[in-house]
């Protein structure tokens, strides 16, 4: 016995010994090895594992009976092997009891030269072990030990005050204890075994990425006490099928449920007034949703890439449909917009490939670029005749005085179209995907041709740019695979990028010394004078 061993603090582990009913690790060690064991268990404790150890002296019949009960109840048996533990009859009894109860044994050798007694060799000699004696020199050994311990023995929740700051992956079902007000940032992030989470009655807020990547979480109820859900809080919960939100005044952060790919059933409280950007982005199983009655704003990309969403009724109080809200909703065939909407953002219905008809209420006073870009089945664009801001003429959308051509319904069964001479601006993506148009006549009133204006007009064969135009914007004719001739006057001096990309048949008609000729030479585009 050394002098240090006479110090009563020598045997003090000074670590929590678990007393509950959840899965835990039984610690088997000799009290003579307490300092070495303590240093290793500090790291095990830091990683939130639950473990039980005995720090009493090895005496008495009652002691052995308690040990047996603890071993029978444990989920893992962590054994510290040293000359002292191998000579201890109590450690020997613990090992034999663990073996008889089919407990998984995790040996840690505190001394590489320890001789195993004959009675224990059969149990221990074939078990993979960790070199505890080398942990101080090489931290990889403690990492190996931590990685091998069963995750179900981790302490699930770490709580500081009223904030739940961390959960380690280990439990399939969890209930938030009373008194927790906030579920902290990334607290449950990537807890891939978590299938059910009971939020409880005291939680008011879930912070950024609080439950992101909980891939087995199947159903979720956000009770009335929850007032805010942070950005990406449940993003990538790919098994989530149903969601109930009970608080009328809840704030759902951006991308809160993005990529919940199996989400089918959503019930939102009627009092919710705003759905922020990307909240339901890429919820690919969502076929329909009843939006809250008091909703006023649909945020950017809020339902983007909801590829199964078939129809949507916009509530009567909505005033703004922001950019890209229904972008990529491939199945969307019907949209009902009410008479308080003032803004439709850019690319709002981009690539809604089953949308055939749109009716714009008279309240709309602002429409962003390319609202129907990629809507290849769109045949009808109607505007309320009482609108003071827009009008539709034979399914072509203009501003009220027809100076701006906003969008041409691409599935119209006509092969030629003459742009009215009131038009001064052809908006970006105005004629994109008009696969039937073979001829478009542009009047000399037009001074602006927007980005992608004739993108993928695959039947278009020739076009003449009037002298009133001085710039052709980016990708204006990209993908016009049958375009053979474009006449460009000397007035055009500014050329965007990718104007004729994919136009393999193109010949440009222009003056030899014009800016158009120089552009064609630079891009290896054939050109000639008229």
Residue pLDDT, tens place only, 237-248: 999 999 999 999
d(CA 54, CA 345): 67
Token pair of 287 as six digits:
């076929």
Q: How much is the pLDDT for 56?
A: 65
Q: How far is CA 478 from CA 456, 463, 499, 527, in A?
A: 6, 14, 6, 17
Q: Give the pLDDT score at 134.
A: 55
Residue 22 has a pLDDT of 80
Cα-Cα-Cα-Cα torsion 39, 45, 49, 53, nearest 10 degrees, comes to 60
What residues have CB less than 8 Å from 386, skipping those under 6 apart?
A: 362
- Predicted confidence (pLDDT) per residue in 324-340, tens digit: 999 999 999 999 999 99
Instruction: Give the least confident one: 125-139, 396-410, 450-464, 470-484.
Output: 125-139
With CA atoms as reference, report the closest residue to 78 among 143, 129, 20.
129
Number of separate helices (H) and strands (E) present in the chain: 7, 38
Starting at the edge strand found earlier in the chain, the sheet holding 396-399 runs: 390-393, 396-399, 404-408, 425-426, 448-449, 471-472, 494-495
DSSP conformational letter for 384:
-
Helix, strand, coil abundance in the chain, percent, nearest 5: 15, 20, 60
Categorize the per-residue pLDDT at 73 as very low, low, confident or very high, splitting at 50, 70 and 90.
very high
Question: Which pLDDT does position 43 carry in this prediction?
Answer: 87
Residue 232, SS3? coil
* pLDDT band per the 50, 70, 90 thresholds, residue 62: low
Q: Cα separations (Å) of 75 from 102, 106, 150, 153, 313?
A: 10, 11, 8, 7, 53
Task: Give me 523's structure tokens.
Answer: 């891009």
Q: Virtual CA dihedral for 253, 259, 263, 264, nearest 10 degrees?
A: 100
Phi first, then psi: give them for residue 294, nearest 5 degrees.
-95, 10
pLDDT tens profile 289-309: 999 999 999 999 999 999 999
How many CA atoms lie within 13 Å of 86's alpha carbon, on the beta-carbon side? 20
pLDDT band per the 50, 70, 90 thresholds, residue 523: very high
Q: What is the pLDDT at residue 129?
A: 67
Enumerate the β-bridge partners of residue 339: none
Across-strand partners of 451?
Answer: none
The pLDDT of 119-144, averaged and rounded, is: 73
Cα separation, 349 vs 377, in Å, equals 12
- Residues β-bridged to residue 206: 183, 229
pLDDT of residue 466: 97
What is the C-alpha separation between 146 and 130, in angstroms, rounded?
10
Residue 194 has pLDDT above 50, yes or no: yes
Helices 61-73 and 89-100, axial angle in degrees (round to 10): 30
**124-133, 211-220, 222-231, 337-346, range with the lowest pLDDT:** 124-133
Q: How confident is the model at residue 13 (pLDDT cuts 50, 70, 90)?
A: confident
Helix residue spans in 15-167 (DSSP H)? 34-46, 61-73, 83-87, 89-100, 118-124, 140-148
**Mean pLDDT across 362-372:** 97
Phi and psi, residue 49, nearest 5°:
-85, 145
Q: Mean of the pLDDT values across residues 465-482?
A: 97
What would the pLDDT profile of 479-509 be if each residue is shown by its tens digit? 999 999 999 999 999 999 999 999 999 999 9
Spatial distance between the Cα atoms of 252 and 208, rounded to a whole number of angstroms? 11
The model's confidence at residue 135, banded by pLDDT at 50, 70 and 90, is low
507, 485 contact by CB (below 8 A): yes
Quick one: pLDDT at residue 10?
Answer: 56
Ordered DSSP codes for 446-511: --EE-TTTTTT-TT--EEE--TT--EE-TTTTTT-TT--EEE--TT--EE-TTTTTT-TT-EEE--
Rg, C-alpha atoms of the chain: 35
* CA 77 to each of CA 15, 95, 131, 194, 529: distance values in angstroms, whole numbers, following the listed order: 17, 8, 16, 25, 89
Q: How far apart are CA 83 and CA 117, in angstroms?
A: 10
Most confident range, picked from 138-147, 166-175, 255-264: 255-264
- Which residues touch 53 (CB under 8 Å, ≥6 apart)? 13, 15, 17, 26, 27, 29, 41
Summarize the confidence of residues 74-78 as an average pLDDT.
Answer: 94
The CA dihedral of 260, 286, 280, 185, to the nearest 10 degrees, is -30
Residue-level pLDDT at 379:
97
pLDDT digits (tens, 9 = 90+) for 224-238: 999 999 999 999 999
- % residues pLDDT > 70 (the chain): 94
- 525: closest CA among 509, 507, 510? 507
Mean pLDDT throughout 447-461?
97
Nearest C-alpha neighbor of 396 from the set 375, 410, 376, 416: 410
């Amino acid at each position: 016995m050394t002098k240090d061993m006479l110090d009563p603090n020598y045997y003090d582990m000074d670590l929590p010994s678990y007393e509950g009913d959840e899965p835990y690790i039984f610690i088997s060690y000799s009290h003579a090895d307490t300092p070495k064991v303590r240093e290793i268990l500090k790291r095990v404790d830091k990683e939130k594992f639950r473990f039980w150890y005995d720090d009493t002296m090895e005496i008495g019949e009652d002691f052995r009976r308690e040990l047996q009960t603890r071993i029978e109840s444990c989920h893992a048996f962590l054994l510290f092997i040293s000359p002292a533990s191998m000579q201890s009859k109590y450690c020997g009894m613990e090992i034999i009891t663990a073996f008889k109860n089919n407990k998984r044994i995790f040996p840690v050798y505190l001394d590489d030269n320890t001789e195993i007694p004959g009675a224990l060799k059969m149990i221990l000699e074939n078990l993979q072990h960790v070199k505890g004696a080398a942990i101080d020199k090489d931290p990889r050994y403690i990492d190996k030990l931590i990685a091998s311990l069963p995750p179900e023995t981790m302490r699930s929740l770490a709580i500081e005050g009223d904030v739940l700051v961390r959960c380690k992956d280990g439990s399939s079902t969890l209930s938030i204890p009373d008194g927790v007000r906030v579920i902290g940032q990334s607290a449950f992030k990537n807890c891939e075994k978590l299938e059910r989470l009971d939020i409880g009655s005291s939680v008011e807020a879930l912070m950024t990425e609080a439950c992101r990547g909980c891939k087995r979480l199947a159903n979720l109820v956000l009770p009335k006490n929850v007032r805010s859900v942070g950005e990406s809080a449940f993003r990538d919960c790919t098994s989530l099928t149903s969601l109930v939100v009970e608080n009328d005044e809840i704030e759902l952060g951006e991308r809160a449920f993005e990529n919940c790919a199996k989400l089918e059933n959503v019930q939102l409280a009627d009092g919710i007034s705003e759905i922020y950007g990307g909240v339901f982005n890429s919820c690919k199983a969502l076929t329909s949703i009843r939006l809250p009655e008091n909703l006023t704003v649909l945020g950017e990309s809020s339902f983007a890439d909801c590829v199964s969403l078939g129809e949507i009724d916009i509530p009567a109080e909505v005033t703004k449909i922001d950019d890209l809200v229904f972008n990529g909703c491939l199945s969307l065939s019907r949209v009902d917009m009410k008479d308080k909407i003032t803004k439709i953002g850019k690319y709002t219905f981009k690539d809604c490939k089953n949308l055939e008809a749109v009716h714009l209420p008279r309240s709309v006073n602002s429409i962003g670029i390319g609202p129907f870009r990629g809507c290849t089945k769109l045949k009808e664009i109607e505007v309320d005749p009482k609108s003071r801001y827009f009008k539709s003429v034979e399914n072509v959308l203009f501003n009220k005085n027809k100076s701006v051509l906003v969008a041409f319904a691409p599935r119209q069964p006509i092969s030629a179209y003459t742009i009215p001479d009131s038009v001064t601006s052809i908006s970006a993506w105005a004629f994109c995907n008009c696969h039937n148009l073979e001829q478009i006549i542009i009047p000399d009133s037009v001074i602006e041709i927007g980005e992608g204006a004739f993108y993928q007009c695959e039947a278009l064969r020739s076009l003449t740019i009037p002298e009133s135009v001085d710039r052709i914007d980016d990708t204006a004719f990209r993908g016009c695979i049958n375009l053979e001739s474009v006449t460009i006057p000397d007035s055009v001096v500014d050329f965007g990028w990718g104007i004729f990309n994919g136009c393999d048949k193109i010949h440009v008609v222009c003056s030899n010394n014009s800016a158009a000729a120089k552009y064609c030479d630079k891009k290896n585009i054939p050109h000639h004078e008229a």
